[in-house]
A and B are shown apart, each in its own frame.
Chain A
Amino acid sequence: MKRGFRRRLPGVLVLLLTCSVHAQDPAEYFKQNCVSCHTIGGGRLTGPDLQNVSERQDAEWLVRFISNPKAMIDSGDPYALELLDQSRGVVMPTPQNITPAFARELVALIQEESAKEESQFRGLQISDAPFTAMDIARGKAVFEGRVKLTNGGPACVSCHNTAGLGGLEGGRLGPDLTLVFERLEGRKGLAAWLLNPATVTMQSVFSEQPLQQDEILPLVAYFEDRSKKSAIAPANTASFRFFLLGLFGVIVALALFDILWKKRLRSVRRTQVLDAANEVLHGR
């Protein structure tokens, strides 16, 4: 039995090694890392639509580009520069844990998906028809957390602010989202982002509890409405309002203490002396 195990050992090791290198399914990887900027057959987001990308460039070029986009741009590759121009200067970040072998797998995946009638990476399809007031109102409710997120994610307002929230406004941890609609270049880009947020912070919060389609659409409506109504992000007036509120709170608390401990011991001797002095001065 012992000998049998030894004989099998090299095979087990090889298996373990391959597992650790290609731990991920390319489709899963694509979903996590690529869909916020790319679709397959869904049109351009920040990055180009990847349908039939292998027809535009050969596989070797694609693998090199995926492995290190910045290096390709810096090397002055004409097609890479063209892409940079198309994405208005946004450099594609180097994908996580990428190896040439895995890049090749990704290219294969794209080719395979391109052939399909409807790729699973087509992205959210949003019509260009104007949103209704109800959409916007629901979006605001979702943003403010009055409607709870189906998968249990935290409400946007806990970290983000937009113009026109009123009261104490939204959180200050994340960036102001008033103009996010413009930053992410419209409905598609915004929806793709919301479907699969690309920053580390958002990912850690929403990867386990992603937003649902019926939450994303109203949110997009809301953000579109916000960005149309205010040309610039609002100035930070909340901190002053916080100060005023704090001041008011302190005054209320002090008044409350004064009432609550009304019978506390105040100065005995000094009051007595002052009273007597008053009596002499004013003959009371």
Chain B
Amino acid sequence: MDVRSQVSMVFHLDKCIGCHTCSIACKNVWTDRKGTEYMWWNNVETKPGTGYPTRWEDQDKYAGGWTRRRDGKIELKSTGKGKIVFNIFHNPHMPSMDDYYEPWTYDYQNLFNAPEGPDQPTARPISMITGEHIDVESGPNWDDDLGGSPVYAKNDPNLEGLSDIEREQLMAIERLVFFYFPRICNHCLNPACVAACPSGAIYKRGEDGIVLIDQKRCRAWRACVSACPYKKSYYNWHSGKSEKCILCFPRLETGQAPACFHSCVGRIRYLGVLLYDASRIEEIAKLPDEELIDAQRSMILDPHDPDVIAAARKNGVHVSVIESAQISPVYKFVKEWKVALPPHIEYRTLPNLFYVPPMSPVMAASNGATVNHVSSDFFHDIDDSRVPLQFLANLLAGGQTGKVRYALRKQRAVRLYRRAETVGDVSKEDAAQALKDADTSVDEVEAIYKLTSLCRFEDRFVIPPMHREEAIEMIDDPHERKAAAGFGFMESPKRGA
């Protein structure tokens, strides 16, 4: 047992209102520099939709993530020791600017400087790359709220396996449905970007598992861009280095939640430490698709187990980190309650960002020619939800509807139980039956309710002490470093070696 700690995340999709505040917070803190205009380390997608970059989940095209060979071993889809030789001058799986979008601003000065004319002056869009006037064709959330759905939502790769009727119903009036899917780097346990980097510039921090790109060692191969199946590594065309979400490690190190977490209006984000058995990563990443979710859960260890604590201590995990893991909300959502699921586990990167699947809106009931907008059955059966279970399963459970059904049933049970407690229009018997069906108990339901609806800041973000003072002692004398370090960049990220 090789116990390590990992800062992990849960996004509660049932609470997400799709306001993009997280994206803006991240953009303002990290990617408002030249060369990073098109980067959205955090973005919010509408599902069904093709997301950003367009159809990023289509790995036949982007070749991200791992693929399981016939002999049971896994290899990167995009590159490898042999492949990289032939693709040394051209990476054939690189998304183009058009698959992202050409970042633009507006010609605001024209509003003030335009010569007198018959019409009001306008601020035309200008490319932030070329400085020329452009016709905007696409943007980072172009298909927001099902915008352009015959083009975008229709091509969502997660619709695979859905019947034509189900697909049509998704778009039909009174049935139409969508939900939001915020994404950041998953800081995976088996990261494809790290495996693909020919320069060894990407690494996973030992103490908290945050995946970072060393800006000094990056040589602009962009292998990480194509290898990451979530397309969360971006190439900075100005500095000539790749960049990605850093989970706001400078904020975490000072005990603050990352900017996107902190600013989240819907309070959908949870952050905490998981202890896991690193010796099992390879074995688990090789398993067949349907075993992956259970296997990943089994890799996450109980932080109260004395054996785990002893092994963690032996591995140098600080006591305070273990204590933090014991009250981690992520552990509860993922391991105890099993309501949070990893996105696209079939990419085999073992992501550390888990999603609580969203409950669907109430179904409208048709009564002959009239449609009742208010259903008598607020808490319809999960299998009748507007979002087909298969769609959610493709997105969050590697195609296994059972895992999604379990998570949604439990959430339904929470609602029924609370309704019976507070409003009383649901009978206690029905509520008890729902708990039984959902494989849960009153205590668990109360705990889920509290952490979902009544959670405080410190419940959502259990940030472990980073002990930087100890980490730095391994490399530098702290006094010397303090004296030598100034403000700003010691070595600014620059193109080239």
Q: Measured between C-beta atoms, what is the minimum distance from B98 to chain A in Å?
A: 5
Do residues B54 and A272 form an inter-chain contact, with CB atoms below 8 A?
A: yes
Selecting from A135-143, A160-168, A258-266, the interface stretch reads A258-266
Q: Measured between C-beta atoms, what is the minimum distance from B79 to chain A in Å?
A: 13
For the complex, is A200 an interface residue (Cβ under 8 Å from B)? no
Do residues B92 and A261 form an inter-chain contact, with CB atoms below 8 A?
A: yes
For the complex, is A23 an interface residue (Cβ under 8 Å from B)? no
Do residues A265 and B155 form an inter-chain contact, with CB atoms below 8 A?
A: no
For the complex, is A255 an interface residue (Cβ under 8 Å from B)? no
Closest B residue to A261 by beta carbon equals B92
- A129-170 Cβ-contact flags toward B at 8 Å (1 or 0): 000000000000000000000000000000000000000000
Do residues A276 and B61 form an inter-chain contact, with CB atoms below 8 A?
A: no
Q: Measured between C-beta atoms, what is the minimum distance from B467 to chain A in Å?
A: 42
For the complex, is B96 an interface residue (Cβ under 8 Å from A)? yes
Q: Measured between C-beta atoms, what is the minimum distance from A281 to chain B in Å?
A: 12
Q: A261 to B54, alpha carbons, bound, how many Å?
A: 21
Closest B residue to A266 by beta carbon equals B61
Do residues B92 and A263 form an inter-chain contact, with CB atoms below 8 A?
A: yes
Closest A residue to B100 by beta carbon equals A269
Partner of B92, one of A264, A270, A273, A280: A264
- CB contacts (< 8 Å) of A268 on chain B: these are 53-55, 58, 61-62, 95, 99
For the complex, is A267 an interface residue (Cβ under 8 Å from B)? yes
Main secondary structure of the interface of B (DSSP, over half): loop
Question: Among residues 244 to 284 in chain A, which have CB atoms less than 8 Å away from a CB atom of chain B?
Answer: 261, 263-270, 272-273, 276, 279-280
Do residues A264 and B93 form an inter-chain contact, with CB atoms below 8 A?
A: yes
Q: A190 to B92, alpha carbons, bound, how many Å?
A: 60
Q: A272 to B96, alpha carbons, bound, how many Å?
A: 14
For the complex, is B151 an interface residue (Cβ under 8 Å from A)? yes
- CB contacts (< 8 Å) of A279 on chain B: these are 150
For the complex, is B21 an interface residue (Cβ under 8 Å from A)? no
Closest A residue to B154 by beta carbon equals A276
Q: How many residues of chain A are within 8 Å of chain B by beta carbon?
A: 14
A276 and B151 in contact, given A265-B61, A268-B53, A268-B55 (Cβ under 8 angstroms): yes
Partner of B155, one of A261, A270, A272, A280: A272
A265 and B151 in contact, given A272-B50, A272-B55 (Cβ under 8 angstroms): no
For the complex, is B315 an interface residue (Cβ under 8 Å from A)? no
Q: A261 to B86, alpha carbons, bound, how many Å?
A: 10
Do residues A265 and B54 form an inter-chain contact, with CB atoms below 8 A?
A: no
Do residues B63 and A269 form an inter-chain contact, with CB atoms below 8 A?
A: no
Question: Among residues 41 to 66 in chain B, which have CB atoms less than 8 Å away from a CB atom of chain A?
Answer: 50, 53-55, 58, 61-63
Do residues B150 and A265 form an inter-chain contact, with CB atoms below 8 A?
A: no
Do residues A273 and B58 form an inter-chain contact, with CB atoms below 8 A?
A: no
- CB contacts (< 8 Å) of A264 on chain B: these are 92-93
Question: Among residues 211 to 270 in chain A, which have CB atoms less than 8 Å away from a CB atom of chain B?
Answer: 261, 263-270
Q: A264 to B137, alpha carbons, bound, how many Å?
A: 23
- CB contacts (< 8 Å) of A270 on chain B: these are 98, 137
Q: A270 to B50, alpha carbons, bound, how many Å?
A: 13
For the complex, is B427 an interface residue (Cβ under 8 Å from A)? no
For the complex, is B122 an interface residue (Cβ under 8 Å from A)? no
Do residues B151 and A272 form an inter-chain contact, with CB atoms below 8 A?
A: yes
Chain A residues in the interface with B (C-beta under 8 A): 261, 263-270, 272-273, 276, 279-280
Selected A-B contacts with CB under 8 Å, 22 pairs: A263-B63, A263-B92, A264-B92, A264-B93, A265-B62, A265-B93, A265-B94, A265-B96, A265-B226, A266-B61, A267-B98, A268-B53, A268-B54, A268-B99, A269-B53, A269-B54, A269-B98, A270-B137, A273-B151, A276-B150, A276-B154, A279-B150
Chain B residues in the interface with A (C-beta under 8 A): 50, 53-55, 58, 61-63, 90, 92-96, 98-99, 137-138, 150-152, 154-155, 226
**A272-B155, A279-B150 given; 5 more Cβ-contact pairs under 8 Å:** A268-B55, A269-B53, A272-B50, A273-B137, A276-B154
